[in-house]
Structure 1
Amino acid sequence: MSDDRPIPENLVRRTPLPTSVSRPVVTPIMPSVVYASDCPDELDAQYEGRVKGFTYAREGHPNAEVLAQKIDALEGAEGGLILGSGMAAVTAALMGCLKAGDHVLGGDQLYGRSLRLMGTDLPRFGIATSLADPTDAAAFARAIRPETRMVLVELVSNPTLRVADIPGIAAICKERGVLLAVDSTFSTPRAFRPFEHGADIVIHSVTKLLAGHSDVTLGYVAAKDPALRKAIYDFAVTTGLTPSPFDCWLAERGLMTFHLRYDRAEENAKALADHLAGLPGVRRVLYPLRADHPDHNRASGLLGARGGNMLSFEVEGGRAGANALTRAMRDLPFAPTLGDIATILSHSASSSHRALSHEARAALGISEGFFRISVGVEDIGLLKRDFAAGVAAARAAAG
């Protein structure tokens, strides 16, 4: 028997939001892909920048804007853009600002996918690339060409934690009229604000320390020059590097405890670095504020007491030792990421830098026994016990 009762008029998109004299304390999640305007004139006014409004989520949405404003405040930036991943931010900065015939000079210890972008993808679009040692400003000066448009460096490199000579590189870029883009994911604005040291573009993988819980994938890019800002935005919108509203909402929530998480994890990292350095079977420990770090003086000058939560170390035994270490530390995630509230162990030769040849990894100081640690907020006594057991297992495997 058919039901001929009419469908309620307000069932499909016709119920207005409830009115209220109060307001939410927590930012609402706004997953709408589209935003309605009153008339074509109003839509024109939005696109032409005469009034503020949202149109289509690929072009921006409220949750992304709220998150961007918070990171802008941390960085001393304006008009930062949230994108779908850290690599989306790197790509938008490069492709939005460069064209065929340009040259970009990168640090030779960039994140593995940034190296892939530099070495394989940009040349396919007619953009020349080369690499230089970011700890040596003179090497960058020699490598800059007449057609060099941009320099891309990480302040603290992934995974060997070398510290770039940002003041020296920034001075060279300014003198030569070259843009300086700094990926500040490892250092974060808690330790270093690149715009205050001559950077033109700042990049973050928000996925990591800023969000901090391994449950979002996001990136951030900001430029000083409004024209560059627009070029990066236009490329990102055209290619659809759109962030999820839900991820932005989660990242905003994570950002509220960023300072607390960072400080506790940094404290743990300093203590764990010293602990590892005293264990038999550990060949070396890399932590920027240790006196035996190759860039200790520069790190102290640029970062002060902020050594960060990242450290690296090398054990005996090659791949067999590496396998033994991770198997002996079952309670610690062994995964190719960083920045979680918990400690995460990574093996660069089998993850971030696996695309490089053995010789290329060796040139960077990445052996089969080399590990990177993203230190979390756990009890330091627990971490010391875990790593003592892991290193002992690696040493035993080495014979």
Structure 2
Amino acid sequence: MAEQKPSLMRPEAVTTGVSAPVAAPIQPSVVYAAESPSALDAQYEGRAAGHTYAREGHPNAAALAARIATMEGCAGGLVTGSGMAAVASALMGLLRAGDHVVGGDQLYGRSLRLMREELPRLGIATSLADATEAGAVAAALRPETRMILIETVSNPMLRVADLEGIAELAQARGILLAVDGTFTTPRALRAVEHGADIVIHSVTKLLSGHADATLGWVGARDAALLARMESFAVTMGLTASPFDCWLAERGLLTFELRYDRAEATAAALAERLGDLPGVGGLRYPLSADHPDRARAAALLGARGCNMVTFEVAGGRAGADAFARAAGEAGLPMAPTLGDAGSTLSHPASSSHRGLDAAARAALGIGEGTFRLSVGLEPEEALFAALAAGAEAARAAAG
């Protein structure tokens, strides 16, 4: 009988006799038996394949990591227990005391807190710069700078990084470039093709896509970089659950369909939201008035992501009224994105609550700022919920 090869569409399965399961199995074992000490040595030294202890890897994580690495065009990848664990693996696995890292000033809130609070106490110096301008990043560099961390499209204000300019700068200076591609995913942009050394994803979001698995992934152009990040993640116990990995691998089967549908609906809503009284400050990467429209078109082509950010009238009172009315109409507020169901997020009270009002204002985040993560619902149903929220916000604003 000819050898059965893994399906390109289906999760990797284990062959059993003359047949193979169509769905991937979950393998929850914490430990794996070795034939002998020499056989175990062979595994640890990379001369034989296998697993030892789940903190060091397991079949479900390996299958998911390899699948995302193929999507991103990386040499390999590592699945972690959350998106922030992936960010930490890149920063803390590759940097040491005395090093300096420059981050985009509009990074996700917890990434900002890691940069501002945790890395400095470990002796790693940090600076923040406007990632939409390579010149601003260049001005923040120091002789001891070892890494630049940016997001392709920022959370939540949807600014588009000057990826190619920053990549050219990093390569010229011998600095590692790490790119968080959670918003764009490899469907819209493969960051290694634009000069990134390291790619990061919160798999919890669009890749998994069903709000039932908490995972991260970090991959690298260079296998040696990946090995260093993996060693840190294993030592710190940033382990991914086999069940969550299984759920995410299943989610990848519909990823492209989900992404394309949500992106198309987001683009349509972005054209309509500005017509609602009391809604302003609309941000969508491909909108004509987006400050980075030209760069978005050059970098992403016709891809605009599934996120729309906007401002409602009335400050916090307006925001409360908007969220209640939209929720009653079927659009919940929740601190997540990328689900099959659409969600609203209020950055001032969730992702960026760790920043004071002045720091949030500097990023363009006010009490009336909302980020909409578009899912699979019909456009008209979503617009009706947003319209109900906008009307309530205007009433609250007086």
Classify the TM-score, shorter chain: over 0.9
CA distance in 1: counterparts of 2:16 and 2:145, whole angstroms:
55
Please report how far the alpha carbon of residue 78 of structure 1 lies from its aligned counterpart in structure 2 after TM superposition: 2.2
Between the aligned partners of 2:280 and 2:258, the Cα distance in structure 1 is 29
Question: What corresponds to 2:11 in structure 1?
Answer: none
Q: Which residue of 1 aligns with 2:121?
A: 124
TM-score (norm 2): 0.95
* Aligned residue in 2 for 1:269: 266
Distance 1:387 1:19, change over 3 A: closer
Q: Does 1:340 align with 2:369?
A: no
SS at match of 1:328: helix
Matched residue, 1:62: 59
Q: 1:36 aligns with which of 12, 33, 36?
A: 33
Distance 2:45 2:191 in 1: 31
By how many angstroms is 1:333 displaced? Answer: 1.6
CA distance in 2, matches of 1:97, 1:223: 12
* Residue 5 of structure 2: aligned partner: none
Of 327-336 and 246-255, deviating more is 327-336
Cα displacement (A) at 1:73: 1.4
Deviations 1:228-250 (A, max 9, x none): 11110100000000000000000
The 1-side partners of 2:179 and 2:348 are apart by: 24
**Alpha-carbon deviations, 1:247-275, whole Å to 9, x = none?**
00000001100000000000110111111
Separation (CA, whole Å) in 2 of partners of 1:66 and 1:227: 20
1:393 aligns with 2:392: yes
Distance 2:209 2:26 in 1: 19
Name the SS of the counterpart of 2:213 in structure 1: coil
Identify the match of residue 296 of structure 2 among 299, 306, 312. 299
Alignment match, 1:353: 352
| 1:247-262 mapped onto 2 (5 Å cutoff) | 247-262=244-259
Q: 2:215–2:244: 8 Å Cα contact kept in structure 1?
A: yes
What is the alpha-carbon root mean square deviation over aligned residues? 1.1
Structure 1 residue 19, shift from structure 2 partner: 6.0
C-alpha displacement at 1:91, in angstroms? 0.1
Partner of 2:68: 71
* 1:372 and 2:366 aligned: no
Instruction: With the length of structure 1 as denominator, give the TM-score of the two structures.
Output: 0.95
Aligned 1:128-139 pairs, distance under 5 A:
128-139=125-136
Looking at structure 2, the residues matched to 19 and 345 of structure 1 have their Cα atoms a distance apart, in angstroms, of: 45
- Deviation at 1:20? 2.9
Q: Highest CA radius of gyration, 1 or 2?
A: 1
Corresponding residue for residue 279 of structure 2: 282
Distance 1:68 1:112 in 2: 25
Give the secondary-structure state (helix, strand or coil) at the position aligned to 2:178.
Answer: strand
Say whether the 8 Å CA contact 2:15–2:21 is kept in structure 1: no
Matches within 5 A, 1:94-105: 94-105=91-102
| 2:391 partner letter | A
What amino acid sits opposite 2:348 in the alignment?
A
Q: What is the aligned partner in structure 2 of residue 46 from structure 1?
A: 43
Which residue identity does 2:151 align to in structure 1? E
Aligned to 2:237: 240
1:212 and 2:224 correspond: no
Q: Which moved more, 1:168-177 or 1:326-335?
A: 326-335
Q: Relative to structure 1, is the Cα distance of residues 54 and 293 closer, same or farther in structure 2, using a 3 angstrom cutoff? A: same
Structure 1 residues 292 and 18: alpha-carbon distance in aligned structure 2, compared to 1, 3 A threshold: closer
Shift of residue 18, structure 1, vs aligned partner: 11
Distance in 1, Cα, partners of 2:45 & 2:360: 49
Alignment check: 8 A CA contact 2:266 2:305 kept: yes
Q: Aligned to 1:211, what secondary structure does the other structure show?
A: coil
Partner of 2:362: 363
1:272 partner SS: helix
The offset of 1:195, in angstroms, is: 0.1
The sequence identity of aligned pairs, in percent, is 67
- Give the counterpart letter for 1:358 in structure 2: A
Q: Distance between the aligned counterparts of 2:332 and 2:15, measured in 1?
A: 45
Secondary structure of the 1:80 match is: strand
1:176 aligns with 2:212: no
Structure 1: distance between partners of 2:383 and 2:375: 12
SS at match of 2:49: coil
Q: SS of the counterpart of 2:147?
A: strand
Return 5+ residue gaps in structure 1 as ranges.
1-16
